[in-house]
Chain A
């Protein structure tokens, strides 16, 4: 079920991804920012909840998921902002053979630049906190399956608010309600793993949401870009 529009002619899609990776590489110093922000937010929870080890362990899934969600939301604004400022967003909309395809690749590049390092950091932190093996695996699986929705739906929000004053806050207001199903099933999967009740159904939901987002979100992003540039 490969959507034809998404498979832009190979050189174009490769060029878009190559450009995003080059830009990522050129500001690789900033690549550390999302994971650092994630650790910072995750560290806040114990101060608020108190040192009770048992309670903290029970709330670990929520802490990780909310920190990942916030770190991703904050990084969404950069997806199109610099392109809009230097005029390359107009070139993309006008010249790209398949704009939805380009938007899908933009979302992929965002996933590689923010959620992916966050998942690595979550893996590191969960081993540091020596969570039980099945909790840790549930956490990583649910993050890998669920965070694509953050990037894909987030790209729609980023397109709709590109160039808008106070865009970051508006962007969060637009997309957070749409992130809630992922948060429910993501944190739910980890919580069920800690209670060692049967998980698995959550993974299917997360995977389903990601596939739905992967097929529909790029078209909404493309329409959003055309609406913003019109």
Chain B
């Protein structure tokens, strides 16, 4: 077990309501730097809601989420270190792959000068740089999302079902990227049912069902 780094992300007793339906309550866990958290749970158990709360898009109806002790709502540092990838990966269908990636890089404006060509090469989509995003298969779309992870520097990755349409090579690529990310003391929270090939030392699991039951 690696030396326990200081707690980076601390989720304290949060509750999630959708309308009047309780999704989960009294959910607490903490993540130290250099960890991948695999979020398991049945459909509707709140995996996506949890990730949206961690991203700051949604606010928990109770409890708090702290980044290095500071509530994420007030922490600009947290948001500058974050990438959130929802189930719909967030690229415009009427723009080409390269235009989408250049746009994502530009609006984040995190000073990275990485080249989209190299990122596309790494995810094996070089030939598709000029293709409209709308014409890609869902597997290729998730690969473009992986290219964004390579391009936009971020210490925190929030990935919602990033593997669903990826083939075996794609899955291995993501696992390789995740390993590289946590080895440079990054944090990743990944909602997926598929087993992640991450060495146990770096892997932490959070089962949404077991938590709400107790």
Contact = CB atoms under 8 A, between A and B. Distances in A.
Contacts of A27: 94
A26 interface: yes
Given A90-B57, A90-B84, A93-B57, A19 B109 contact: no
A230 interface: yes
A130 B87 CA distance: 55
Interface string B124-163: 0000000010000000000000000000100000000000
Contacts of B88: 85-87
Contacts of B95: 19, 22-23, 26
Given A87-B86, A95-B108, A19 B99 contact: yes
- In this complex, the interface size class of chain B, counting residues with CB under 8 Å from chain A, is 20 to 34
Interface string B94-109: 1100010011101111
A219 B83 CA distance: 23
Interface in B65-104: 79, 82-84, 86-95, 99, 102-104
Given A87-B86, A90-B84, A97-B107, A19 B92 contact: yes
B92 A82 contact: yes
B55 interface: yes
Nearest to B96: A22
Interface in A16-48: 16, 18-19, 22-23, 26-27
Given A27-B94, A86-B88, A88-B91, A15 B57 contact: no
A87 B55 contact: no
B57 A229 contact: yes
B41 interface: no
A230 B57 contact: yes
Contacts of B116: none
Given A11-B106, A83-B92, A90 B86 contact: yes
A9 interface: yes
Contacts of A14: 106
Nearest to A9: B109
Interface centre among A8, A22, A82, A95, by most chain B C-beta atoms within 10 angstroms, is A95
B104 A91 contact: yes
> Chain A's interface: helix, strand, loop or mixed, by majority?
helix
A82 B84 CA distance: 19
Contact of B109 (A11, A18, A82): A11
Contact of A97 (B102, B109, B152): B109
A114 B84 CA distance: 32
A83 B132 CA distance: 15
A22 B132 CA distance: 12
A144 B103 CA distance: 30
Contacts of B83: 95
A32 to B, nearest CB: 17
B58 A230 contact: yes
B38 interface: no
A102 interface: yes
Contacts of A95: 83, 104, 107-108, 152
B107 A86 contact: no
Interface in A61-87: 82-83, 85-87
A19 B103 contact: yes
B108 A87 contact: no
A208 to B, nearest CB: 31
Contacts of A94: 55-57, 79, 82, 84
A12 interface: yes
List 8 tightest A-B contacts by C-beta distance, closest first: A15-B106, A87-B88, A87-B90, A91-B90, A26-B94, A95-B108, A12-B109, A88-B90
15 contacts: A15-B102, A18-B103, A19-B103, A22-B95, A22-B99, A87-B87, A87-B90, A88-B90, A88-B92, A90-B90, A94-B84, A95-B104, A95-B152, A96-B107, A102-B107
Interface of A: 8-9, 11-12, 14-16, 18-19, 22-23, 26-27, 82-83, 85-88, 90-97, 102, 226, 229-230
Given A88-B91, A230-B59, 10 more contacts: A15-B102, A16-B103, A19-B95, A22-B99, A23-B95, A26-B94, A27-B94, A95-B152, A97-B108, A229-B58
